[in-house]
Amino acid sequence: SLSQTSQLTVIRSLDQNPTEEELQDMISEVDADGNGTIEFAEFLNLMAKKMKETDAEEELKEAFKVFDKDQNGYISATELRHVMINLGEKLTDEEVEQMIKEADLDGDGQVNYEEFVKMMTTVG
C-alpha cells in the first residue's frame, strides 16, 4: 500500500494540491478494504477519477514524465520499479513485470504514452 505521504507527494506532483481533509476524503472514497491506506490498484483508481475531473491531457503528460525518467517516450520495468519504490511500494520483479504486461498493449515490453493514458483512464 502507499503511505499517505507518498500519496500526497504523487497527487501534488500532478498539480493536485488537496488539503489534509480533501486527502482523507479521497482516501476514504477509494479505500476499498477500509484499512486507511490505499493499495496500488486503489491509487490508480483514485488518479483515474482525478484525471477525469481536471485537465486530464496536461496532467497525464506530467504523470508520464514522472515515470519516464530517461524521457525516451517509454516507461520501462526499471523506471516503473524506481517510481514505485519512491512511493513506498516494495514490488517483486514479477509484480513489476505483471504491471508492465497489463499496460503494454503492443507487447514491446514497455509502456508508451498512449498505453499509459489508456491505463490511467480505464482503471476502475
- Mean predicted confidence (pLDDT) in 12-25: 66
Q: Which residue has the higher pLDDT, 5 or 57?
A: 57
- Mean predicted confidence (pLDDT) in 17-35: 72
List Cβ<8 Å contacts ≥24 apart for 118-121.
Answer: 119/44, 120/44, 120/47, 120/48, 120/51, 120/60, 120/63, 121/48, 121/51, 121/52, 121/56, 121/60
Residues in Cβ contact with 57 at an 8 Å cutoff, skipping those fewer than 6 apart: none
Q: Which residue has the higher pLDDT, 77 or 49?
A: 77
Number of domains in the chain: 1
CATH number of the domain enclosing 28: 1.10.238.10
Range of the domain at 71: 4-122
Q: Could you report the per-residue pLDDT of 57-105, keeping only the tens digit for each?
A: 777 888 888 889 999 999 998 998 888 877 777 778 888 888 888 889 9
- Percent of the chain whose pLDDT exceeds 70: 71
Cell of 53: 475531473
Residue 3: is its pLDDT beyond 60? no
